[in-house]
Structure 1
Amino acid sequence: MTSEPAYQALFLGAGPQMQCGVGQFTRLLGETIEKLDPGGSTTLTLTRAEGSVGDIWQAVGSARNVVCNFPIVAWKRVMVRPLLAMAMARLRNRRVILLQHEWGGLHWLRRLTYLPALLLADSIVMFSPLVLHELADDPVVGWAARKCVLAPLPPNIEAPTAPADSKLRQRLAAARQDGRLVIGHFGSIYPGKQPNALLNICASLRERGLKPLLVYVGSFIRGIDRVEEDFHARAAELGITDDVIVSGYVASDQEVFGIFSEIDAFCYPLEEGITARRGSILACVQSGRPIIVTGPAEADEFDHHPRFKALIDRGAIVLVPRDANDVAYADKITSALKVATIQPPFDYEGWWRDVAQAVLSQLRPNPSSEISPNSADQTPRSKT
C-alpha cells in the first residue's frame, strides 16, 4: 500500500546560489508558506553537483505538489534538473505549480527554455496582467494562458531597522551637501528597464542647473546584447559620464538601504510602463522617497494587487503619461520633491502572506491539513 506524501509542497531551490532575485523569491515564499502551514513543505536543492535522478524521484514522491520558480537560479545554471523534477512530478501524479515572472521581455532564446516548463505545469502563477497577456498573445504557447492565475508580488527585500554605512553612501551624502540632486535606480540593469532613457532625463535636469547625479544601485545583466557598452557610450555622448554612478553588486540589504537614504528620488522610465511585477520599485517605496515611473499599459494592471494600487493612489509612486518626453519626467521629479508625504508603516510580512495564500490556493491540498487557502477569489484568471 502506498503511503501518503509527507509534505504538501516541494520547492525546487538552488542552495547558496539562491542569492539572485529569482532564488531569493523562492526562498522567501517557501519560508512564508511554512509559517502558514508548519511542517507542510520542504525544499529540494538542485545545483550542478547536487540533485541526482534518485534524489529528485524520492523528493518528488514525498510531496503532493512541486513548486518551481523557473529558472531556479540565474541564467545558464541548473536548467535541466528542475525540468526533470517537473517531468517526474507529472509522471507520479503530483501537481506542478510554475511561477512565471516575465515573458515578452525575455530574449527569444530564453523563452525557448520555458517551453517544457509551460507544458508540464498544471498551474502557472503570474504577477502581472501585462505579462499574462503577452503569453496569451504568443502564437506558439498562447494556449498556456488557460493555466494562469494572478498573484500579488511582494518586494524581495525589507528595509532594515539600522541601515549600514558604505563608501558609496558617504559619497552621495557629500554630493547632496554640495547641492547635487541624487536620482536613484535600483535593481539589475538590462534593456527592458531602458537605462539609457534615464540618462536623457539626467541631461534635461542638468540643463535646468539642478546638478543631477544618477546612481544605479545594481549591476548590468550579462547577455548577448551590448547594454553596458551602449549605456556608457550614451552617457559620454550626453557629456554626463561624471554624473553617473553604477554601484555594482551590493552585499547586504543594510547597505542597500543606507544608499537609499541618500537618494532624493527614484525614476523608472519604462517602455512597457509600470507593472505589478516590479519588485525593485516596491523595495524603493520602503525608503520613503518618491518614485517617478511610467504609467501602466493595462488599465487592470493592479486590480489583483490592492496593496500596490494603494501606493499609487496615495502618491508614493508618481505616474508619468506613457507618451511623455524627458522634460515631463524632469518636471515630475522636481514637483514630487516639493510635496511632503508621510508614508504609513510598510507591512512587509502582510505582502508576503498575500502571495503565499495565492500560491497555496493552487496546491492540491493534504486531506489532513488544517490550512484552507481562501484567496482563490483574489487571483483572477486571464481574461482570454
Structure 2
Amino acid sequence: MTPKPAYQALFLGAGPQMQCGVGQFTRLLSETVEKLGPGGTTTLTLTRTEGSVTEIWRAVGSARNVICNFPIVAWKRVIFRPLLALAMAQLRRRRVILIQHEWAGLHWLRRITYIPALLLADTIVTFSALVRRELACDPMVGFTAKKCVLAPLPPNIEAPPGIADSELRHRLVAARGEGRLVIGHFGSIYPSKQPNALLGIGAALKARGRAPLIVYVGSFIRGVDNVEHEFYARAAELGLSGDVIVSGYVASDHEVFGLFTAIDAFCYPLQEGLTARRSSILTCVQSGRPVIVTGPAEPDEFDHHPRFKELINRGAIILVARGSDDDAYAERIVSALKRPSVQAPFDFDGWWQDVAQAVRAQF
C-alpha cells in the first residue's frame, strides 16, 4: 500500500547558495506558507552535488504538491536536478506548481531552459498580467498560458530597524552636501531594466545644471549579453563617466538601506512599463524616497495586486507616461523632490501572507 504523503508541499531549494534573489524568494515563500499551516511543508536541497535520484524520488513522494521557483538559484548553477524532480512529481502524480517571474525579458537561451518546467507544470504562478500575455504569445509554449494564475508579488527585502554605514554612503552624503542630485537605481543590472535609459535622463538633468550623480545599487548580471561594456560606453558618450557609480554586490540589507538614505530619488525608465513583478521597486518604496517609473502598458496590470496599486494611488510610486522623453523624466524627478517626503508604514509580513495564500490556494 502506498503511504499517504506527509506534507502538503515540497519546496525545491538550493541550500546556502540561495542568497541570490531567486533563492531568497523561495526561502521567504516557504517560511510564510509554513507559518500559515505549521508542519505542512518541507524542503529538498538540490545543488550540483546534493540531491541524488533516490533522495529526489523519496522527497517528491512525501508531499502532495511540488513547488519550484525555477531556476532555483542563479542561472547556470543548478538546472538538471529541479527538472528531474518535476518529472518525478508527474510520474508520482504529485501536483507541480511552477513560479514564473518573467518571460519575454529573458534571453532566448534562458527561455529554452524554462520550457521543460513549463510543460511539466500543472499550475504556473506568475506575478504580472503582462508576463502572462507574453507567454501566451510565444509560438512554442503559448498554450501553457492557460495554466497561469496571478499572485501578488512582495519585496524580497524588508527595511531593517537600523542602517549600516559604508565608504560609498559617505561618498554619496558628501556629494549631496556639494549640491549634487543623487538618483538611485536598485537591483541587478540587466537589459530588460534598461539601465542605459537612465543615463539619458542623467544627461538631461546635467543639461539643466542639476549636477546629477547616478548610483546603481547592485551589480551587472553575468551572461551572454555585453551589458556592462555597452553601459560604460554609453556613459562616456553622454559625458557622464564621472557622474555614474555602480556599487557592485552589497553585503547586507542594513548597508543597502544605508545607501538609500543618501539617495534623493529613484528612477526606472522601463520599455515594457511598470509591471507588478518589479520587486526591486517595492524595496525602494520602503526608503520613503520618491520612485519615478514608466507607466504600465495595460490598465489591468495591478488589478490582482491592491497593495501595489495603493502605492501608486498615494504617490509613493510616480508614473511617467509611456513614450515620454528624457526631459519629461527629468522634470518629474525635479517636481517630485519639491513635495514633502512622507514614509508610510509598510506591512512586509502582510505582503508575504498575500502571496503565500495565493500559492496555497493551488494545493
- 1:115 match: 115
Conserved 8 A contact 2:289-2:341: no
Q: Secondary structure at the match of 1:48?
A: coil
Q: Secondary structure at the match of 2:256?
A: helix
- 1:187 match: 187
- 1:257 match: 257
Alignment of 1:92-171 (within 5 A): 92-171=92-171
User: Which residue type is aligned with residue 91 of structure 2?
Assistant: L
Q: Secondary structure at the match of 2:250?
A: coil
Report the CA distance between 1:225 and its aligned residue.
1.5
- 1:357 match: 357
Give the gaps of 5 or more residues in structure 2.
none
Q: Secondary structure at the match of 2:85?
A: helix
- 2:227 match: 227
- Deviation track 1:220-263 (CA, whole Å, cap 9, x = no partner) reads 01111211001000111111111100000000000000000100
In structure 2, distance between residues paired with 1:109 and 1:232: 25
- Deviation track 1:14-52 (CA, whole Å, cap 9, x = no partner) reads 001001110100000000011101110010000001000
In structure 2, distance between residues paired with 1:352 and 1:23: 15
- 1:208 match: 208
In structure 2, distance between residues paired with 1:107 and 1:3: 42
Report the CA distance between 1:2 and its aligned residue.
2.0
| Of 337-346 and 281-290, the range deviating more from structure 2 | 337-346
In structure 1, distance between residues paired with 2:15 and 2:71: 13
- 1:64 match: 64
User: Which residue type is aligned with residue 55 of structure 2?
Assistant: D
- 1:52 match: 52
Report the CA distance between 1:343 and its aligned residue.
3.1
Identity %: 76
Conserved 8 A contact 2:129-2:301: yes
Q: Give RMSD over aligned pairs.
A: 0.6
In structure 2, distance between residues paired with 1:62 and 1:21: 27
Q: Secondary structure at the match of 1:117?
A: helix
Show structure 1 runs of 4+ deviating over 4 A: none
In structure 2, distance between residues paired with 1:341 and 1:238: 31
User: Which residue type is aligned with residue 358 of structure 2?
Assistant: A
In structure 1, distance between residues paired with 2:100 and 2:291: 25
Aligned pairs, number: 363
TM-score (norm 1): 0.94
Report the CA distance between 1:107 and its aligned residue.
1.1
Conserved 8 A contact 2:89-2:96: yes
In structure 1, distance between residues paired with 2:330 and 2:311: 21
Report the CA distance between 1:115 and its aligned residue.
1.1
- 1:382 match: none
In structure 2, distance between residues paired with 1:232 and 1:70: 31
Q: Secondary structure at the match of 2:33?
A: helix
Q: Secondary structure at the match of 1:189?
A: coil
In structure 1, distance between residues paired with 2:313 and 2:184: 22
In structure 1, distance between residues paired with 2:64 and 2:268: 41
In structure 2, distance between residues paired with 1:177 and 1:55: 58
User: Which residue type is aligned with residue 279 of structure 1?
Assistant: S
Report the CA distance between 1:341 and its aligned residue.
4.0
- 1:9 match: 9
- Deviation track 1:81-113 (CA, whole Å, cap 9, x = no partner) reads 000000000100100000000101111111111
Conserved 8 A contact 2:287-2:343: no
Report the CA distance between 1:4 and its aligned residue.
1.2
In structure 2, distance between residues paired with 1:341 and 1:227: 34
Q: Secondary structure at the match of 2:96?
A: strand
Give the gaps of 5 or more residues in structure 1.
364-384
Q: Secondary structure at the match of 1:296?
A: coil
In structure 2, distance between residues paired with 1:118 and 1:227: 28
Q: Secondary structure at the match of 1:32?
A: helix
